[in-house]
Amino acid sequence: MAGSYNHCVSNKGNFLDGKDDRYPLLDNLGDSFEAIEEMFGMIWYLAGEMLEMTPKTPEERAVMVKEAVETARQNYKEGLRISKEIHKLSPDKRRF
């Protein structure tokens, strides 16, 4: 995958804002699409995993996952803030 989540985050795991030219940002719309696709899948995977242990019918679980994803979408800026706090405490060491 040419474009990915890793192209959008720093070595500390924070979102790259494109202001620092040392980081490999996405070069074209194809790369951007692939990165977005990966993150979209990550959101749904995490929402599903978060609710995996909830004893519900498949239909109830589906509604809960969709609601969790929508809540995350509406609060993504809070997620960015939380991510920065988490990565200050435990920075990634796998890039740069």
Please write the tens of the pLDDT for every residue from 48-91.
Answer: 777 666 667 888 888 888 888 888 888 888 888 888 888 889 88
pLDDT at 96: 47
Domain boundaries, position 71 = 5-89
Q: Which two tokens stand for residue 54?
A: 């909830």
**Res 80: pLDDT:** 81
Cα–Cα distance list, 72 to 29, 46, 63, 80 (Å): 24, 11, 14, 11
Q: How confident is the model at residue 7 (pLDDT cuts 50, 70, 90)?
A: confident
23 falls within a domain: yes
19, 13, 8: which is closest to 84 by C-alpha?
A: 13
In a domain, 70, yes or no: yes
DSSP, residue by residue, 23-42 = S----SHHHHHHHHHHHHHH
CB within 8 A of 61, min separation 6: which ones? Answer: 51, 54
Tell me, yes or no, whether 74 lies in a domain.
yes
Does residue 95 fall inside a structural domain?
Answer: no
Quote the number of domains for the chain: 1
25 found inside a domain: yes
Residue 96 lies inside a defined structural domain of this protein: no
